[in-house]
């Protein structure tokens, strides 16, 4: 389908063969490194099962309703309104970038009409000189938010051939303008004199975000404009380098701050130690690698993954950073949009690096860090989520954090900075869009093992029409049943996660034999066929500093469940901390701020014996392979729990959160007992990193 879609689009554009051949010779000069695994065009993959339920909840929840009431989207200046949360003007572009894949992944008409309205408005109002957006002065015109707009637009162009030509036209006109601005001492990127568009340096720390849209344009619709596209990318990077935001200097053993406190010597820019920037900056060396083919940039991408994994990756997969990195202690927490960006970056990195652990990382974040910060009905979210978090309320202090307020771990509409309100929607739709990929040898691979169906045209001319349904409750169950139809035989791959054990099988009997990249090859015949994959797993214990441990089972992190009481009230304004006026909250009252406190008598202060773990199938697991509760990320909904032997301990509370292990003496109180561990994402209050203590079997 990839190729055939492109030729359909080219035909729609009425491009002559001359232009096509000019474009292809142009392409040789400006050729890009190709990924090992290519994503399919947006719209080729549809969600099934629990993942479809999740996208539907997202569409029916906050993400899918921001357009109707939320001031930074509904009243965005991009569509004729008057409200932006900062001079970056990034709010509705973030929203657009997330809602486009939701609209076309889920196939939801209401959401599609929202993004279509927005797209058409923005394109209709493209300025004479090519500028996209409402800003008319040099002082206010920043390039950064345009990167997000363009990211949304290329997805739209893939999914809807009726809009492709307009989008491509607009992107070329914009690029010519951006090129001339950048040529003029990086105008729009670097702030000169009284420029207001980026006084902190967020955009200049994210210069590579222009690369994905520009590279897309260069490959698919270069229109004899390749040189301009190429130079535009180059100047974005050069401008960032001039300013001091070259990520190549940061992702190194020497310069990467393994632990960062106020007293830590550190000579580089602040932009590098900001969690969301880091999640995005992971892609910087790779973006440059695509243009330069310099293999050291590929190695550096791998190093970046490894440094983050070792020093700042949370148990749940995100980057511990509140908004800045510090250490790996479980009270620090992580900002929600870091998880959304990590999911996108790890999926993208996997397509080039191919490391099985990188794909596992994307799943780890998608099944743990992301859902834990969103309420089961998708109407509220946290700004900061802590690994050890026995309550979620306005803390009595924010001394715990660099730059986050005491309200940040409340579930709400905008419990702290509104970037997470507008940027969280991209996480699941893009994860879906990257779940099946095509392989270099002309095959297809299922890499993120969620229930979904892919339809695509394989083969050089796209004529081998392949349809695959993956029926599974993964990650809540570990079996996947595929039903497949294909015009011609082809090679299918299933990614076998690193945690899967030797007893994993195909069709219930053949032991899996993945290659060193973790891909299990299956020859699929023409016509209809089916296939099943059964992954074998047991609970795994990860030991961490200060004699602590965390428990995983399959891709899920398990944590102590904390039953809670809930109080709610109308959402507050993140700046004034006063109730928001009704004109920016949901008219039906569905968006509320929630404070969660442990039920009276609930114990969170425990040490565990990780030698003593039992798997428990709850009564939810009787309902069969295809059935899961909806919503699933709710306490008690997932069908598999663990019981872990534990004992109550004295655990001091410091800065209104459980003290970090290592700072207090672990002394037991009373007799051991079995505690209930559940998937972390389902338990908004939880303790995930716990002191370890040997407890007698009893
Ligand atoms: C990149 O370099 C490799 C090895 O030198 C070469 O095989 C490949 O064709 C190059 N790719 C591009 C896009 O230039
Ligand atoms: C919402 O109402 C407030 C007054 O309560 C007003 O200042 C503001 O402009 C309104 N916002 C929108 C988006 O209509
Ligand atoms: C380019 O911009 C920088 C930052 O505003 C300024 O310091 C420098 O003088 C400018 N250079 C030229 C040639 O205008
Ligand atoms: C900056 O703004 C001040 C006050 O409006 C004005 O006097 C000055 O000329 C401006 N400088 C530049 C470089 O535009
Ligand atoms: C492409 O652009 C070059 C100069 O930039 C021009 O000489 C050439 O005629 C153009 N080709 C087409 C097919 O427009
Ligand atoms: C930071 O800069 C100072 C002075 O230039 C230098 O002595 C020090 O080694 C640098 N530190 C790091 C971590 O690079
Ligand atoms: C949250 O607590 C802080 C003090 O820690 C206080 O300043 C703020 O007003 C409170 N916010 C709300 C919405 O109650
Ligand atoms: C998964 O598949 C295996 C092998 O066919 C089977 O024994 C097991 O019962 C299945 N598990 C579930 C939960 O259906
Ligand atoms: C595993 O198979 C995939 C798909 O053909 C391929 O891209 C990858 O390079 C292979 N890995 C190894 C280590 O051979
Ligand atoms: C909590 O439970 C204890 C007994 O377990 C009881 O004495 C106490 O009053 C309860 N507190 C509240 C606030 O209900
Ligand atoms: C998925 O599998 C379950 C259990 O085998 C079955 O009940 C259900 O109908 C299947 N769903 C689809 C869409 O094939
Ligand atoms: C472990 O304990 C030490 C000593 O209190 C502390 O410095 C450190 O931050 C703790 N946590 C980790 C993750 O190392």
Residue 224 predicted with pLDDT over 90: yes
165 located within any domain: yes
Of ligand 3's listed atoms, the one at least distance from the Cα of 192 is 5
Burial of 21 (0-12, 13-18, 19+ CB in 10 A): exposed
For ligand 10, mutation pick of 565, 597, 601 (most atoms within 8 Å of CB): 601
**Predicted pLDDT at 620:** 75
**Predicted pLDDT at 646:** 98
What would the mean pLDDT of 526-549 be, rounded to a whole number? 98
407 Cα: distance to centroid of ligand 7 (angstroms):
7
**Domain match, 90 and 236 both:** yes
User: What is d(CA 650, CA 667) in angstroms, rounded to the nearest whole number?
Assistant: 6
**Domain match, 487 and 573 both:** no
**Domain match, 522 and 548 both:** no
446 Cα: distance to centroid of ligand 9 (angstroms):
13
190 lines ligand 3 (CB under 6 A): yes
**Domain match, 110 and 212 both:** yes
**Predicted pLDDT at 622:** 59
Q: How many domains, in total, are found in the chain?
A: 4
Q: Which residues form the pocket of ligand 10, taking CB atoms under 6 Å from any ligand atom?
A: 600-601
Of ligand 2's listed atoms, the one at least distance from the Cα of 75 is 13
What would the mean pLDDT of 80-101 be, rounded to a whole number? 98
Average model confidence (pLDDT) across the chain: 95
Residue 643 predicted with pLDDT over 70: yes
Residue 9 predicted with pLDDT over 60: no
267 Cα: distance to centroid of ligand 6 (angstroms):
6
C-alpha angle with apex 227: 221 to 229, nearest 5 degrees? 55
**Domain match, 656 and 560 both:** yes
Q: Which residues form the pocket of ligand 2, taking CB atoms under 6 Å from any ligand atom?
A: 71, 75, 83, 581, 583-584
185 lines ligand 3 (CB under 6 A): yes
**Domain match, 545 and 530 both:** no
pLDDT band at 29 (very low <50, low <70, confident <90, very high): confident
**Predicted pLDDT at 505:** 98
**Domain match, 86 and 126 both:** yes
- CATH number, domain of 507, equals 2.60.420
Residue 7 predicted with pLDDT over 50: no
- In the DSSP assignment, the letter for residue 684 is S
CB of 119 closer than 8 Å to CB of 95: no
Angle 284-292/211-220 helices, nearest 10 degrees? 30
Ligand nearest to the CA of 187: 3
Q: Tokens at residue 96, please?
A: 């657009």
**Domain match, 470 and 615 both:** no
417 located within any domain: no
Residue 610 predicted with pLDDT over 50: yes
SS3 422: helix
User: What is d(CA 554, CA 542) in angstroms, rounded to the nearest whole number?
Assistant: 13
**Domain match, 153 and 134 both:** yes
User: What is d(CA 400, CA 653) in angstroms, rounded to the nearest whole number?
Assistant: 12
Task: Report the percentage of the chain scoring pLDDT > 90.
Answer: 93
140 Cα: distance to centroid of ligand 3 (angstroms):
17
pLDDT band at 15 (very low <50, low <70, confident <90, very high): very low
**Predicted pLDDT at 627:** 82
Question: Which domain does 550 fall in, by range?
Answer: 540-691
For the stretch 133-160, pLDDT in tens is 999 999 999 999 999 999 999 999 999 9
**Domain match, 88 and 221 both:** yes
56 located within any domain: no
472 Cα: distance to centroid of ligand 12 (angstroms):
40
SS3 392: strand
Residue 19 predicted with pLDDT over 70: no
Ligand nearest to the CA of 478: 8
For the stretch 92-136, pLDDT in tens is 999 999 999 999 999 999 999 999 999 999 999 999 999 999 999
In this structure, which residue's CA is closest to atom 13 in ligand 3? 185
Task: Report the percentage of the chain scoring pLDDT > 70.
Answer: 95
Q: Tokens at residue 670, please?
A: 């009373």
**Predicted pLDDT at 626:** 57
**Predicted pLDDT at 619:** 78
Q: Tokens at residue 537, please?
A: 């797993």
246 Cα: distance to centroid of ligand 6 (angstroms):
17
**Domain match, 170 and 84 both:** yes
For the stretch 227-262, pLDDT in tens is 999 999 999 999 999 999 999 999 999 999 999 999
**Domain match, 478 and 573 both:** no
Of ligand 5's listed atoms, the one at least distance from the Cα of 22 is 13
Backbone angles phi, psi at 549, to 5 degrees: -150, 160
What would the mean pLDDT of 661-675 be, rounded to a whole number? 97
């Amino acid at each position: 389908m990839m190729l055939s879609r492109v030729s359909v689009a080219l035909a729609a554009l009425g491009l002559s063969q001359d232009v096509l051949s000019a474009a292809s010779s142009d392409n040789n000069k400006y050729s890009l490194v190709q990924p090992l695994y290519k994503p399919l065009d947006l719209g080729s993959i549809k969600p099934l099962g629990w993942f479809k339920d999740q996208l539907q909840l997202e569409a029916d929840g906050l993400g899918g309703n921001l357009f109707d009431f939320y001031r930074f989207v509904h009243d965005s200046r991009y569509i004729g309104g008057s409200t932006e949360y900062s001079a970056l003007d990034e709010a509705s572009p973030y929203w657009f970038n997330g809602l486009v894949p939701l609209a076309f992944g889920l196939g939801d008409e209401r959401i599609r009409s929202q993004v279509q309205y927005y797209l058409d408005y923005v394109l209709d109002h493209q300025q004479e000189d090519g500028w996209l957006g409402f800003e008319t002065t040099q002082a206010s015109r920043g390039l950064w938010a345009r990167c997000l707009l363009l990211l949304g637009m290329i997805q739209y162009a893939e999914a809807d051939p009726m809009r492709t030509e307009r989008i491509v036209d607009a992107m070329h006109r914009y690029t010519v303008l951006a090129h001339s601005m950048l040529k003029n001492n990086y105008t729009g990127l670097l702030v000169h004199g009284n420029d207001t568009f980026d006084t902190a340096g967020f955009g200049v720390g994210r210069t590579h975000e222009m690369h994905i849209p520009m590279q897309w344009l260069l490959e698919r619709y270069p229109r004899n404009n390749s040189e301009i596209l190429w130079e535009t990318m180059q100047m974005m990077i050069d401008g960032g380098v001039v300013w001091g935001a070259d990520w190549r200097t940061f992702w190194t053993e020497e310069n990467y701050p393994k632990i960062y406190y106020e007293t830590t010597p550190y000579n580089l820019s602040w932009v590098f130690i900001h969690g969301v920037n880091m999640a995005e900056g992971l892609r910087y060396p790779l973006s440059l690698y695509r243009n330069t083919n310099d293999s050291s940039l590929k190695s550096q991408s791998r190093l970046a993954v490894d440094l983050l994994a070792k020093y700042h990756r949370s148990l749940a997969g995100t980057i511990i950073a509140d908004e800045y990195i510090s250490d790996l202690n479980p009270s620090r927490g992580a900002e929600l949009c870091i998880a959304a960006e990590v999911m996108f970056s790890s999926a993208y990195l996997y397509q080039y690096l191919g490391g099985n652990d990188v794909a596992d990382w994307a799943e780890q974040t998608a099944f743990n860090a992301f859902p834990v910060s969103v309420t089961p009905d998708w109407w509220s979210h946290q700004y900061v989520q802590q690994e050890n978090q026995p309550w979620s309320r306005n803390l009595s202090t924010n001394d715990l954090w660099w730059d986050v307020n005491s309200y940040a771990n409340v579930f709400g509409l905008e419990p702290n900075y509104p970037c997470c309100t507008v940027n969280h929607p991209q996480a699941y739709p893009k994860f879906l869009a990257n779940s099946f990929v095509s392989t270099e040898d002309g095959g297809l691979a299922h890499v993120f093992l969620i229930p979904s169906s892919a339809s695509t045209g394989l083969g050089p001319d796209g004529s081998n029409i392949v349809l695959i349904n993956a029926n599974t409750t993964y990650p809540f169950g570990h079996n996947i049943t595929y039903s497949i139809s294909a015009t011609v035989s082809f090679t299918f791959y299933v990614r076998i996660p690193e945690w899967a054990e030797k007893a994993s099988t195909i069709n219930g009997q053949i032991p899996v034999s993945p290659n060193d990249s973790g891909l299990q090859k299956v020859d699929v015949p023409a016509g209809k066929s089916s296939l099943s994959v059964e992954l074998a797993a047991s609970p795994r214990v990860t030991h961490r500093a200060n004699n602590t441990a965390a428990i995983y089972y399959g891709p899920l992190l398990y944590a102590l469940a904390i039953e809670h009481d809930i109080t709610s009230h109308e959402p507050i304004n993140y700046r004034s901390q006063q109730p928001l006026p009704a004109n920016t909250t949901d008219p039906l009252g569905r968006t509320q701020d929630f404070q969660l406190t442990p039920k009276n008598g609930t114990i969170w202060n425990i040490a565990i014996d990780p030698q003593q773990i039992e798997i428990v199938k709850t009564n939810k697991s009787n309902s069969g392979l295809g059935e899961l509760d909806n919503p699933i990320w709710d306490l008690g909904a997932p069908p598999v729990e663990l019981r872990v032997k534990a004992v109550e301990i004295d655990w001091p509370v410091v800065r209104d959160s459980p003290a970090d292990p290592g700072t207090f003496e672990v002394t037991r109180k009373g007799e051991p007992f079995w505690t209930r561990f559940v998937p972390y994402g389902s338990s908004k209050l939880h303790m995930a990193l716990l002191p370890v203590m040997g407890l007698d079997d009893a």
